Chains A and B, each alone.
Chain A
Amino acid sequence: MANLKELTHREDRLAGGHRLCAGCGASIAVRQVLLGAGEDPVVVGCATGCLEVSTTIYPYSSWKTPFIHNAFENSSATISGVEAAFNGLKRAGKIDPDKKVRFVAFGGDGGTYDIGLQALSGAMERGHDMVYVCYDNGAYMNTGIQRSSATPKGAWATTAEVGSAQPGKQQKRKDLTAIIAAHGVPYVAQASVSHWKDLTTKAEKAFNTPGAAFINVFAPCPRGWRTPSSATIEIAKSAVQTGFWPLYEVEDGVWRQTVKVHNRKPVEEFLKPQGRFKHLFAPGNEALLAEIQADVDRSWDQLLARCSQD
């Protein structure tokens, strides 16, 4: 793993000047992941979403590397096709047999947990030599903060409104990282933009693992979470420290916590600074807060049970 000094000398493959919001977690995730790709060329695929519309406004592109956007639900299938072409063209003798290229697909949680889950599952099962990176900001931010299956229980979203009959989203999040781990692919990890070294190390491992790899990156959205642009990293850190978003990896089926949390903080510390959870702190919603804490505790215990006790 490269140290911070070495990383600063690596080429940034996502140029500045893109149109993402200040404090957007997605671009931080992309830059840290691509730093883990090393010196080899990378072909990037991207699902429709904030990241795509903000970085590829014709005739401009923020990508200093080959890039393809196809549609919303299929960045995994699209990149699997690019990787297939690499193999086919090598066999045809049209590409140098020693040439190395990395393949990575990005998608938000809407394009990954929901509409893209089938294509992602297919690409993972087929075992293409690719990395799929989900930047999880917990809602359909590009279309205006609609709920996804990654939206936390109790959160406000424009299709999970807060009113007298309903305090925000009623359902729990889907545990996508575990779902992909259940595919038995060689490398799966959960990471956060707040822990750059952990994320970049995971990206490096994912790129260096032959076959399919998946990283789920926690990427706050100031616009959708109703948080200040300057708070992105702090809130992401708080998700880790409260156990809301544990950092771990599953390498060849072995689960391991990569960042230990010794004095896990109450989930309220993660929820309270965010406008999307404001209603939970109004009188009468104490039971819901307790339920959210209980869910976090249960998931945490499940994770610890899965992780090898090293």
Chain B
Amino acid sequence: MPEHKTLAATGNSVVAEAMRQCKPDVVAAYPITPQTTIVEEFAAFVAKGKTHCEYVTVESEHSAMSACIGASAAGARVMTATASQGLALMWEELYIASGMRLPIVMANANRALSAPINIHCDHSDIMGARDAGWVTLFAETAQEAYDNTIMSVRIAEHPDVLLPVMSCLDGFITTHSIDRVSVMDDESIAGFVGDYEPQNALLDTDNPVAHGNFSGLGGPYFEFKKQQREAIENSRAVIKSVGEEYSALSGRPFDVIETWGMEDAEVAVVVIGSTAGNARTVARHLRADGKKVGVVKVRVWRPFPYAEIAAALKGLKAVAVLDRSESFGAEGGPLFLEVRSALYDLAERVPVVNYIYGLGGSDVKLELIEQVFTDLADIAAGAAAPAGLVYLGAREEA
């Protein structure tokens, strides 16, 4: 049985710890707020000889992911971390990592994208990369960030998947706040993640292979993309089984969505990341007043848990989806688009409203969530849903 130790630590600190415990052979990373303390703490492990890892201090995030791709194709277990503009700069390489089927694991400290420049939390960085073919997990807390990082390695390297995995945590809120976190001993984590057995490694020089070949008109490009789709669909079962195995080890439950109060809820909020805690706090107060409210937290963003979301929200009188990013010109934010799509096949229509909140670290006060539940109660009672999306808490004048 693993030894559990309770720490007072930031999300970034336990992500760095989880990375060390997963024994990567290569970490290639570039510092960016609010990811920096991950790479700083990992650099300290390197300096103290606490890892065998080759730590490549690249000159940009583009080169970070480029070096990760080279290292992963070479046969190494590879991890990295980034945020915001860094993830945006990697954009080209994100697609190449998944297209080359390389099981790289990356933490992303969610931060707003410029302009205007802003270092605080929202999800526009990852949502801009949502079609890049990465399995994507979201943490609400430092604990989940630790757990997700470790599970990511097993999911990525599973032979039925072989895709890169991104493990997201909210910038500053989760990355920098000190939280109560339970970590396990090195041996238990090493045993859980196991050794990486690479296929077609460049460094298997007796069996030379070519990575990244050209596929022109009439080539296999289309079929390769179909295989990527199959791989990310395969990851659904792998995520569940890895999650069950990890739960048994950690003693903490895991599922692709987490529900609160949904057994008899009439209205619910769907949320992703750290705001789930705010939503549950408000929901708890409303429950005390006898209101039948619930909260659904999405922990796995890609592949999106359509069936689980539909099952959780079926029969509700009103649902609010909280998006911490924009999809300008679309019907709503990225989470809203997925949730509404998940509900389309239900026989009975569930009214869904969309709130954009917290962009650029804009404060997510409990009163704002209360306002959402009040709106939901009104809609459930027959009031008209707001036309279009609502910018929750935006001031009339900036």
Contacts and interface: CB of A to CB of B under 8 A. Distances in A.
Given A71-B96, A81-B66, A85-B203, A61 B210 contact: yes
Contacts of B70: 45, 68, 70, 77-82, 84-85
Interface stretch (A50-58, A173-181, A289-297): A50-58
Interface stretch (B71-79, B235-243, B264-272): B71-79
A196 interface: no
Nearest to A119: B63
Contacts of A118: 59-60, 63
Contacts of A61: 210, 213
B109 to A, nearest CB: 22
B203 A119 contact: no
B290 interface: no
A125 interface: yes
A228 interface: no
B53 A56 contact: no
A65 interface: yes
A247 B216 CA distance: 38
Contacts of B209: 66-67
A80 B366 CA distance: 48
A64 B208 CA distance: 7
Contacts of A92: 23, 25, 52
Contacts of A121: 59
State which size class the interface on B falls in. Answer: 35 or more
A58 B209 CA distance: 12
B165 to A, nearest CB: 18
A63 B208 contact: yes
Contacts, number: 168
B367 interface: no
A57 B75 contact: no
B74 A82 contact: yes
B66 A68 contact: no
Nearest to B207: A66
Interface string B76-107: 10100000000000001100100000000000
B157 to A, nearest CB: 15
B213 A78 contact: no
A21 interface: no
B255 to A, nearest CB: 34
A87 to B, nearest CB: 4
A68 B200 CA distance: 11
Given A56-B212, A57-B214, A69-B213, A91 B52 contact: yes
B214 A88 contact: no
A88 B71 contact: yes
A87 B28 CA distance: 13
Interface of A: 41, 43, 45, 52-53, 56-59, 61, 63-71, 73-74, 77-82, 84-89, 91-92, 94-95, 101, 118-119, 121-123, 125-126
28 contacts: A41-B205, A43-B205, A56-B213, A58-B214, A64-B208, A65-B205, A66-B202, A66-B205, A67-B209, A68-B211, A71-B66, A73-B62, A77-B58, A77-B66, A80-B56, A81-B56, A82-B73, A84-B56, A85-B202, A86-B74, A88-B52, A95-B203, A118-B59, A118-B60, A119-B59, A119-B60, A122-B60, A126-B58
Interface of B: 23-26, 28, 52-54, 56-60, 62-63, 66-76, 78, 92-93, 96, 202-205, 208-216, 219-220
